[in-house]
Amino acid sequence: MNKILVCDDDKEIVEAIEIYLMQDGYSVVKAYDGEECIEQFRKNPDIKLIIVDIMMPKLDGIHTCMKIREVSNVPVIFLSAKSEDVDKILGLNIGADDYVTKPFNPLELVARVKSNLRRYTQLGNAVETTENVYKVGGLVINDDNKEISVDGELVKLTPIEYNILLLLVRNQGRVFSIEQIYENIWEEDAIGADNTVAVHIRHIREKIEINPKEPKYLKVVWGVGYKIEKQIDGDS
């Protein structure tokens, strides 16, 4: 039974989310401010996903997520009454995996929980029966043990970042539009996906590129999308 941590200063919202998650077989840990959220996360190392409101007393969701990201890549879904793109981008910038705007459909929230858990579980379960290793110059992805290295140095990506990079590396030379990336990774229609994908692409570049402003691996094809170059000279 997957354990979900739900944090919101509105107890009625927490109770409502708990009901829907438990109906789908999830175990729920509850918290009502950012500090309690972090405390519960430390007490429950088997938590598989966190749903956290942005606007909360003591410690807001943004800073709560930042502290969690210091020690874990567990999926984080933000809740917020704000719908502006700037808030969504801010959440994604500090490490959130998904974003749901209040008022929300509880069934949609549960669907997003399932989707994020599926990506996280697939990333965490290494299969060691065959070697699925993809190389592009100094960039190496071992999809059996879910490890990424650049010039021999291990790189730590979130589940979504990993899956985006793997999609592009598996299809070297092919250009994927923002809509194609979103629909492949999030497995839903790409409505307003531009900022979401762009933020994750930037994070990947910051982790795998020596100079993210002049990327060696993850290239943009202006007006079309993104790609991984098919052949890269390791000394270039």
Here the CATH number for the domain that contains residue 20 is 3.40.50.2300
User: What band does 224 get if pLDDT is binned at 50, 70 and 90?
Assistant: confident
137 with 180, same domain? yes
Pairing between β-strand 218-221 and β-strand 133-136 as defined by DSSP bridges: unpaired
Give the residue from 124, 143, 173 where a domain finishes.
124
52 with 69, same domain? yes
The answer to whether the bond into 215 is cis (omega within 30° of 0) is no
Q: Across residues 136-158, what is the average pLDDT?
A: 86
Residue that wins the pLDDT comparison between 164 and 130: 164
Q: Is residue 218 part of a domain?
A: yes
Q: Is residue 78 part of a domain?
A: yes
Cα 7 from Cα 214, distance rounded (Å): 40
Q: Contact 1/26 with Cβ under 8 angstroms? A: yes
For the chain, percent helix, then strand, then coil, each to nearest 5?
40, 20, 40
Q: Read off the pLDDT of residues 53-64 as tens digits, 9 standing for 90 and up.
A: 988 888 988 899
pLDDT of residue 128: 36
212 with 180, same domain? yes
pLDDT of residue 236: 41
Q: Where are the alpha helices (DSSP H) in the chain?
A: 11-23, 34-43, 61-69, 85-93, 106-124, 159-170, 178-186, 194-208
Number of domains in the chain: 2
87 with 15, same domain? yes
61 with 141, same domain? no
Q: Is the pLDDT of residue 65 over 60?
A: yes
36 with 108, same domain? yes
85 with 146, same domain? no
Here the CATH number for the domain that contains residue 160 is 1.10.10.10
Q: Is residue 236 part of a domain?
A: no
Domain around 162: 133-228
12 with 111, same domain? yes
Cα 90 from Cα 93, distance rounded (Å): 5
pLDDT of residue 232: 47
177 with 120, same domain? no
Give the residue from 124, 152, 186 where a domain finishes.
124
Task: Answer yes or no: pTM beyond 0.75.
Answer: no
pLDDT of residue 57: 85
28 with 113, same domain? yes
Give the residue from 72, 101, 124 where a domain finishes.
124
Q: Across residues 93-111, what is the average pLDDT?
A: 86
